[in-house]
Amino acid sequence: MSISKVRIEVGSVYSRQEAAEALGVSLSTLKRLIRKGHLKVSKPDGMRRVFITGESIQSMLQNTVVERGA
């Protein structure tokens, strides 16, 4: 069984599921990242769908500090 990761493209837009897969986290973890403001999303009025840009994902990753022993 091969596992392929989704490549995060700066000019692309991702669903919550696609972003979670690209980051290697669960959907509930991704929702928590959004709720805590670590990941910026756009949600058009009247829609349930949330859009996450590649720029937002890259920005979150660049601003993340990795602690020793993590």
Q: Where are the domains of the chain?
A: 13-62
Q: What pTM, to 2 d.p., does this model score? A: 0.77
* Rg of the Cα atoms in the chain: 13
pLDDT by 10s per residue, the chain, length 70:
555 667 788 889 999 999 999 999 999 999 999 999 999 999 889 988 889 999 999 999 998 877 776 5
| Per-residue pLDDT at 5 | 66
Q: Which two tokens stand for residue 8?
A: 């995060």
Query: In Å, what is the CA distance from 18 to each residue of 8, 40, 67, 68, 70?
Result: 10, 15, 26, 28, 24
Per DSSP, the chain holds a count of helices (H) and strands (E) of 3, 2
13-62: CATH topology: Arc Repressor Mutant, subunit A (1.10.10)
Question: What are the tokens at 61?
Answer: 């990753």
Give pLDDT, residue 68: 75
Res 9: pLDDT = 87
* 8 Å CB contact between 7 and 45: no
pLDDT at 64: 80
